[in-house]
Chain A
Amino acid sequence: MADYEQLDTPSVVLRADLQRLFDSLHARGYETIAPRVENGAIIYDEVTSVDALPAGWTDEQEGGFYRLEGRDDGALFGYTVGPQSWKRYLSPPIRRLWQARKNGDGFEIVHEDAPTPHYALIGVRACELHAIHHLDDVYLGGSTIDADYQQRREAAFIVAVNCGKAGNTCFCASLGTGPAVGPGYDLALTELVTEREHAFVVTVGSERGADVLADVPHRPAAPGEIDLAEAIVAEAARHMGRTLETTGLKELLYRSFEHPHWDEVAERCLTCGNCTMVCPTCFCFTVEDTTDLTGQSAERWRRADSCFTTAFTFITSGSQRASAKARYRQWLTHKLATWQDQFDSLGCVGCGRCITWCPVGIDLTAEVAALRAEEIGQPQPEAVLEMA
C-alpha cells in the first residue's frame, strides 16, 4: 500500500450516520468485529449494527473486580477494555495447522488452506494497537514468520477509538501507550457526547481509511470539536487508576531474581494463568499432535499456552519452573525486562487486564513497587563459578 499522509483536518461523523461506516466495511468484504455486552462484560464479537454496541454502558474495574454499570449519556465507547483482546482474531487461540494421512508406504501432509478472514476491528484502543504491534514483532519480526498471522494482519482494517475515560486498573499513560491512539490505524474515532450533539471526530490514517470514510456522511470538524476531542483524551490521561515507574525497570528486574518478594507473591498467586490469557501481548503457544481412533489420520493443532503451567517447561529432568514463584517471576520479568532485550520495547502496554482478571487481584504495578521499595543486595553474576 502506498504511503498515506494523514489529513490535517479531522472530520466529524454524526452518531446517526455511524451505521454507514459498518455498512461500507461490509460492502468491502469485511467482517465487522466490535464491542458488545455478553455475560456482564464487554467482549469483541461480530457486530453488524451500531445498535448492538454497548450504548450507555461503562465498566468499573479493580484488582480482581469487574462490573458493568449504566451511564446516562448513551455513549457507544464509554468503557475501557474487557477480558478479551484482538489477538483472538489475529492469532486465534486454537487452530489446526495441518493434517497428515497414512498411505501405502508412509504418510502425506495435507496443508490447511482456509481463506484468510478479512476483519474490520472496530474500537481498538491505544494500548491495544500497541499490543498488536508487539504481536507483529513476535510473529513477523524474525527470520521466520507466521504466514497465517501475516495474512490476517494485513487484511485487517483498524478503526481505533481514543479513550475518553481511563479505567481504575489502567496505566497506559505511564508507559506512553495511551490513552491517545498512535500510528497504525486506518480510522481513529473520538466520541463526543455533548448537549448539542452525539458525534465522532474522525482522523484518517491510511488510504483505505480515506476510501471508507468517503462512503460515510461527514463534514470537516470545527475547531471547537477538535479541541474538545483533545481535551477529553487529556482528561482520561489525568485519571489513570495505576502508575508504573519505568525508569531502570529492566535492571531492577534483572537484579531482583533472588528477591524475597517473589516468595510473598507466590503465596497469593494461584498459577491459574488468567493473566496470560487476558494479556493482549502474551503470545506463547503449544502444539499438539493427535490421531483419530483408526490411527490413519493425524492432525497438528496450535493452542494458546501459558507460562503458568508446569508442563510449559517440561524436559526429561522435570519442569524447569516447578515453583509458583518461578512462574510468576518469569511472567513479570518477561513482560517488563527480558522483552526489552528481545524486542526493544516493554512487553506490557498498561491495559490493566491482568490486574482486573486476576482472581486474587495481584497487581503488577504494586509488585514492581514492592521490588523497588525492598531492593536488596544481589549476588554477582560470577556466583556460578564459585558454586560448590
Chain B
Amino acid sequence: MLATAIHERQPAVARTFATNGCVPYRCRVTERHQENDDTFTVELEPAGARSHAAFAAGQFNMLYVFGLGEIPISISGDPAQPDRLVHTTRAVGTVTRAMATLRRGDMIGVRGPFGSSWPLDDLKGKDIVLVGGGIGLAPLRPALYQLVAQRGDYGRVVLLYGARTPEDMLFRAELERWRSRFDLEIFVTVDRATGDWHGNVGLVTALIPRAPFEPQNAVALICGPEVMMRYAVQALHKRGVGPQQTYLSLERNMKCGTAMCGHCQYGPHFVCRDGPVFRMDQVQRFFGKWEV
C-alpha cells in the first residue's frame, strides 16, 4: 500500500534526479567570445554520446565549474538550434570569474534546461516589446532569434536595451545587423556616453513612453535588474500595457533547479520551476515589495 501510494503521487513522466541527485553532464567549450570587459559568451558541446535537450527561449541551465560551484545561467542562443548551446555570462564572483578563464576545449558541467519561458507561441499577432537591462539581454536573445525567424507571425517587434556604456553593449554586431532590418525597431540607451556615442543617454525605462507600439495589442518581455524591472512595469502600465500583457524574468538564488532546495522561493512560487519567466499578474502581490 505504501509503495503504491508513493507511485500514485508521481506524474507519468518522472524525470529522475539521476542516481543520487543532481549530476551534470559534461560539455566542452567549442567557442568563446569576449562581449565586453566582464562578459563573455561560450558555446558548449556535449563531451559524451548524449546531445543537448531542446530548450525554449527564456530557460536556463545550471553550469558547473570543476570543484568551484554551480550557478544558473540563461541560455542565450537560438532555440531553433538546440545542438548549439550558447551562454552569455557576466563575471561577478567566484564561479563566474572562474568560468571567464575557460578556453576552447575546456570542460564544464551542465544540468537543464530548467524553468518557464517567454510564451512566444501564444503571442502571435501581438506587438512585442522587449526591454533588457545589462546582462538581462542574454535571456531575451533567444526570443529575438525566434521572433526574427517567424517575423511574419507578429506585429511590431521593438527592442529597448540599456547598457552602462557603449562599450558594454552585448551582441553588438548582431544588434547592428538587426537594426538594419526594416521590420525590427531597436533602441539602445547608455548610462554614460563615451567616445563618439550619439545615441540615447539615460535609463532604458525612459525609452518606453516614445517606443513605437500599440499598447492595447502589445506584450512586453522584461529582463534586467529588479529595480529597473519595477520602473519598466510602471512605465508600461502608464502607456496602457497592463499586468496581463507584461512578462518578466526574475532572479533568485538557486541550488537545485528542480523545486527541491527551497532557495529560489518567491511567495508560493519556486522561481526555478514556475519561473524565471512570470506574467506580471502572477507575481503582482509580491513584486515591488522588499525582502519577499
Q: How distant is A262 from chain B, measured CB to nearest CB, in Å?
A: 10
Among B1, B22, B289, the one with the most A-chain Cβ atoms within 10 Å of its Cβ is B1
**Contact B3–A305 (Cβ < 8 Å):** no
Among A186, A320, A322, the one with the most B-chain Cβ atoms within 10 Å of its Cβ is A320
**Contact A285–B284 (Cβ < 8 Å):** no
From B237, B289, B290, A385 is in contact (CB under 8 Å) with B237
**Contact B20–A320 (Cβ < 8 Å):** no
A283 contacts which chain B residues (CB < 8 A)?
260, 262
Q: How many residues of A contact B (CB 8 A)?
A: 81
Given A186-B2, A315-B251, residue A334 in contact with residue B260 (CB < 8 A):
no
Q: How distant is B23 from chain A, measured CB to nearest CB, in Å?
A: 5
Separation of A47 and B251 alpha carbons in the complex (Å) = 46
Separation of A217 and B225 alpha carbons in the complex (Å) = 68
Q: A184 at the A/B interface (Cβ < 8 Å)? A: yes
30 sampled A-B residue pairs with Cβ under 8 A: A1-B3, A2-B4, A97-B20, A98-B23, A105-B105, A106-B26, A106-B47, A109-B26, A136-B9, A139-B260, A141-B9, A142-B259, A143-B13, A144-B259, A144-B260, A145-B16, A146-B21, A146-B260, A148-B21, A154-B2, A183-B5, A285-B260, A286-B261, A313-B252, A315-B252, A325-B291, A330-B265, A384-B230, A385-B233, A385-B237
A154 contacts which chain B residues (CB < 8 A)?
2-3, 6
Given A384-B288, A387-B288, residue A316 in contact with residue B260 (CB < 8 A):
no
Write the residues of chain A forming the contact surface with B, with a CB cutoff of 8 angstroms.
Answer: 1-4, 97-98, 100, 102, 105-109, 111-113, 136-148, 150, 153-154, 158, 183-184, 186, 205-207, 254, 257-258, 283-287, 289-291, 295, 298, 300, 302, 305, 307, 312-317, 320-323, 325-326, 329-330, 334, 337-338, 341-342, 381-385, 387
A184 contacts which chain B residues (CB < 8 A)?
1-2, 5
Q: How distant is A37 from chain B, measured CB to nearest CB, in Å?
A: 29
**Contact A257–B67 (Cβ < 8 Å):** no
B26 contacts which chain A residues (CB < 8 A)?
106-109
From B47, B70, B262, A289 is in contact (CB under 8 Å) with B70
Q: How large is the interface on B (under 10, 10 to 19, 20 to 34, 35 or more residues)?
A: 35 or more
Separation of A387 and B64 alpha carbons in the complex (Å) = 39
A284 contacts which chain B residues (CB < 8 A)?
261-263
Q: Mark B230-252, 1 if CB is under 8 A from A, else 0.
A: 10011001000001000000011
A112 contacts which chain B residues (CB < 8 A)?
19-20
Q: A2-B4, A140-B9, A307-B262 are in contact. List 4 more A-B contacts (CB 8 A).
A: A206-B2, A283-B260, A291-B68, A383-B288
**Contact A106–B28 (Cβ < 8 Å):** yes
**Contact B4–A285 (Cβ < 8 Å):** no
Separation of A341 and B269 alpha carbons in the complex (Å) = 9
Q: Mark B104-120, 1 if CB is under 8 A from A, else 0.
A: 01110100000000000
Separation of A353 and B19 alpha carbons in the complex (Å) = 32
From B1, B64, B93, B253, A205 is in contact (CB under 8 Å) with B1
Q: B195 at the A/B interface (Cβ < 8 Å)? A: no
**Contact B24–A109 (Cβ < 8 Å):** yes
B255 contacts which chain A residues (CB < 8 A)?
285-287, 305
Separation of A137 and B43 alpha carbons in the complex (Å) = 37
A207 contacts which chain B residues (CB < 8 A)?
1
Q: Mark B174-186, 1 if CB is under 8 A from A, else 0.
A: 0000000000000
From B16, B68, B93, B233, A316 is in contact (CB under 8 Å) with B93
**Contact A314–B16 (Cβ < 8 Å):** no
Q: How distant is B267 from chain A, measured CB to nearest CB, in Å?
A: 6
**Contact A140–B10 (Cβ < 8 Å):** yes
Separation of A143 and B256 alpha carbons in the complex (Å) = 13
Instruction: Mark out the residues of chain B between 1 and 60 whose CB falls within 8 Å of any chain A CB in the assembled complex.
Output: 1-6, 9-11, 13-24, 26, 28, 47
A295 contacts which chain B residues (CB < 8 A)?
67
A142 contacts which chain B residues (CB < 8 A)?
11, 258-260, 273
**Contact A314–B10 (Cβ < 8 Å):** no
A323 contacts which chain B residues (CB < 8 A)?
291
Separation of A141 and B10 alpha carbons in the complex (Å) = 6
From A111, A315, A321, A330, B20 is in contact (CB under 8 Å) with A111
